[in-house]
């Protein structure tokens, strides 16, 4: 077999394993339009590049460990670094993702491939030792060494995908916008690729198996650390985005609370005056309205004056507001609340917390087909040094609004939700501040 073709097969084997390692993470990205055509084009370019490089560098050994001298080491280091950079361009070409997400997938995938390659190398060395006597098996094209690499890679790739990547999604990776990904790229190039080549070179020179074991352990730790650090950056970026969104929602709802309180006060005052005017009008001797009609009109007007009184202005505001919404949707909202028990919370936070929970409850209750079951109960009380809030309704909801746990956590509260076959409930529990408990 011609030397250049041998070199091409060896290089293609590495490129395939790197590509699948990156694909483990990139599979969560959203593909671009015309993905199939783009993929075929990328494969054609990759194949042409492999053949061209192999043709131009026929002196390149079939495996990296056969390189001799600083020149061979530098050539391989540059070649594998270029492969990593080129992989970023390919992922960017194939997927509708940010450059940061592409960097994440490629650096994680490359580190994963190196971890698999290092594990295969360690197994080979433990079985056959180091030095020239261990080399013949490596030179067999698609022989035991290549087969071992593919088997270890397949096992590791599937495990990482199943336990980690499977839980990720395109939306989560889209949130990656951390410039630290560039630093992680440098870590992969210098530590993962560079260190791997050094170990292979030393192994080919015949160093002790114990040394290879120690060096491979360090290299494996670096690979795992790289992937974990990148996931930490991903998670932190996602949490930061969620915090920013939640803070924005909280600020909007706090402004809404101030507006709602002023609006409710104005409406109730106006309706209170209107009720008395209607009552005086109906009391006039000249009215021609029947008693039943008059009482019905009074009830309709009095609805807007029936403000909930719990001993907490913010709780009164949100319950009164949501009660009107419930009446409009044919939902019964019952409330037994000691509003003073929530006195340790800021009014804006009470409005946000209860408003978010009741919005979820109202949406679920309104979807119940049986009109007689459209009901929501709210209980707020204090007992044994704790303050509890319980909301229960017919219908199904998971109370997924981010504002609920955010406000609860701010006051050291615990949150539990349960959804049964027909009912849903949410329970919030807070420790009552000592000054309030007294």
Return the percentage of the chain with pLDDT > 70, whole number: 72
Q: In this model, does residue 43 exceed pLDDT 90?
A: yes
**Amino acid 27: pLDDT:** 87
pLDDT tens, position by position, 68-79: 445 566 778 888
The strand order across the sheet containing 375-383 reads 332-337, 375-383, 386-394, 423-431, 414-419
Q: What is the span of the domain harbouring residue 358? A: 308-438
Residues 52 and 155 placed together within one structural domain of the fold? yes
Query: Domain for residue 28, yes or no?
Result: yes
Strand pairing report for 386-394 and 423-431: antiparallel
**Amino acid 238: pLDDT:** 65
Residues 231 and 130 placed together within one structural domain of the fold? yes
Copy the structure tokens of residue 209: 């198996």
**Amino acid 347: pLDDT:** 84
133-137 LR contacts (CB < 8 Å, sep 24+): 134/203, 135/65, 135/66, 135/204
Can you tell me the mean pLDDT for 320-348? 87
Query: Domain for residue 14, yes or no?
Result: yes
Residues 187 and 323 placed together within one structural domain of the fold? no
Quickly tell me which residue has 């490089």 as its tokens.
53
Query: Domain for residue 287, yes or no?
Result: no
Name the more confident of 116 and 172.
116
pLDDT band at 60 (very low <50, low <70, confident <90, very high): very low
Burial 314-345 (b: 16+ CB within 10 A, else e): bbbbbbbbbbbebeeeebebebebbbebbbbb
Domain boundary (246, 262, 283) is at 246
Q: In this model, does residue 64 exceed pLDDT 50?
A: no
Can you tell me the mean pLDDT for 99-119? 90
Can you tell me the mean pLDDT for 206-225? 90
Can you tell me the mean pLDDT for 217-235? 84
Q: In this model, does residue 293 exceed pLDDT 80?
A: no
Query: Domain for residue 370, yes or no?
Result: yes
Query: Domain for residue 419, yes or no?
Result: yes
**Amino acid 63: pLDDT:** 44
Residues 87 and 192 placed together within one structural domain of the fold? yes
Residue 224: CA count within 13 A, CB half-sphere: 9
Query: Domain for residue 416, yes or no?
Result: yes
pLDDT band at 66 (very low <50, low <70, confident <90, very high): very low
Nearest CA-CA partner of 431 in 333, 337, 348, 344: 344
pLDDT band at 410 (very low <50, low <70, confident <90, very high): confident
Dihedral, CA atoms, 46, 50, 51, 52, nearest 10 degrees?
100
**Amino acid 252: pLDDT:** 62
Q: What is the CATH number of the domain that holds 319?
A: 3.30.565.10
Highest mean pLDDT among 226-235, 265-274, 347-356: 347-356
Query: Domain for residue 40, yes or no?
Result: yes
**Amino acid 248: pLDDT:** 63
Can you tell me the mean pLDDT for 219-243? 77
Residues 236 and 347 placed together within one structural domain of the fold? no
Quickly tell me which residue has 């040094």 as its tokens.
385
Residues 185 and 326 placed together within one structural domain of the fold? no
Can you tell me the mean pLDDT for 171-199? 73
Residues 122 and 242 placed together within one structural domain of the fold? yes
Residues 242 and 313 placed together within one structural domain of the fold? no
Domain boundary (206, 226, 246) is at 246
Residues 212 and 327 placed together within one structural domain of the fold? no
**Amino acid 78: pLDDT:** 85
What value does the mean pLDDT of the chain take?
80
Can you tell me the mean pLDDT for 43-51? 89
Ranges 23-27, 50-54, 244-248: which has the least confidence: 244-248
Residues 320 and 203 placed together within one structural domain of the fold? no
**Amino acid 320: pLDDT:** 83
Q: In this model, does residue 420 exceed pLDDT 70?
A: yes
Quickly tell me which residue has 């701010």 as its tokens.
410
CA distances to 322, 355, 365 from 319, rounded to whole Å, are: 5, 8, 16
pLDDT band at 88 (very low <50, low <70, confident <90, very high): very high
Highest mean pLDDT among 53-62, 98-107, 128-137, 231-240: 98-107
Domain boundary (213, 228, 246) is at 246
Can you tell me the mean pLDDT for 395-404? 80
Query: Domain for residue 186, yes or no?
Result: yes
Distance CA 329, CA 249 (A): 25
**Amino acid 169: pLDDT:** 55
Contacts of 364 (CB under 8 A, 6+ apart): 393, 395, 396, 397, 424
Residues 194 and 324 placed together within one structural domain of the fold? no
Ramachandran quadrant class, 178 (left: phi over 0; alpha: psi -120 to 50; beta: rest): beta
Copy the structure tokens of residue 263: 């609006």
Contact 379, 336 (CB under 8 A): yes
State the total domains in the chain. 2
Residues 233 and 350 placed together within one structural domain of the fold? no
Q: In this model, does residue 155 exceed pLDDT 80?
A: yes
């Amino acid at each position: 077999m011609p030397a250049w073709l041998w070199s091409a097969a060896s290089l293609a084997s590495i490129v395939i394993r790197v590509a699948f390692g990156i694909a483990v993470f990139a599979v969560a990205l959203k593909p671009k339009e015309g993905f199939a055509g783009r993929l075929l084009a990328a494969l054609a370019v990759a194949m042409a590049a492999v053949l061209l490089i192999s043709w131009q560098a026929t002196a390149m050994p079939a495996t990296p460990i056969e390189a001799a001298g600083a020149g061979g080491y530098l050539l391989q280091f540059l070649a594998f670094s270029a492969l990593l950079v080129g992989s970023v361009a390919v992922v960017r070409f194939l997927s509708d993702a940010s450059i940061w997400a592409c960097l994440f997938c490629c650096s994680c995938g490359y580190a994963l491939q190196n971890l698999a390659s290092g594990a295969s190398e360690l197994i080979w060395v433990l079985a056959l030792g180091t030095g020239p006597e261990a080399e013949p098996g490596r030179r067999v094209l698609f022989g035991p060494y290549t087969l071992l690499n593919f088997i270890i890679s397949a096992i590791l790739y599937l495990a990482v995908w199943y336990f980690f990547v499977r839980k990720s999604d395109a939306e989560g990776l889209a949130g990656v916008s951390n410039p630290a990904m560039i630093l992680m790229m440098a870590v992969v190039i210098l530590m993962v690729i560079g260190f791997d080549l050094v170990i292979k070179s030393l192994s080919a020179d015949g160093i002790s198996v114990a040394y290879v074991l120690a060096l491979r352990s360090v290299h494996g730790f670096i690979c795992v650390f790289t992937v974990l650090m990148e996931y930490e950056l991903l998670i932190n970026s996602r949490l930061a985005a969620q915090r920013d969104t939640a803070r924005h929602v909280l600020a909007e709802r706090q402004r809404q609370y101030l507006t709602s309180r002023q609006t409710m006060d104005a409406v109730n005052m106006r309706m209170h005056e209107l009720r008395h005017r209607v009552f005086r009008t109906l009391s006039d001797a000249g009215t021609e309205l029947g008693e039943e009609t008059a009482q019905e009109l009074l009830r309709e007007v009095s609805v807007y004056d029936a403000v909930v009184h719990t001993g907490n202005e913010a709780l009164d505001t949100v319950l009164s507001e949501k009660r009107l919404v419930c009446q409009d949707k044919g939902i019964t909202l019952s409330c037994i609340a000691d509003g003073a028990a929530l006195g340790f919370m800021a009014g804006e936070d009470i409005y946000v917390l209860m408003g978010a929970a009741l919005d979820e409850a109202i949406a679920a209750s309104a979807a119940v087909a049986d009109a007689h079951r459209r009901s929501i109960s709210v209980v707020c009380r204090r007992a044994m040094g704790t303050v509890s809030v319980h909301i229960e309704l017919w219908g199904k909801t998971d109370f997924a609004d981010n504002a609920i746990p955010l406000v609860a956590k701010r006051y050291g509260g615990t949150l539990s939700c349960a959804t049964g076959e027909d009912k849903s409930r949410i329970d919030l529990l807070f420790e009552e501040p000592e000054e309030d408990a007294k």
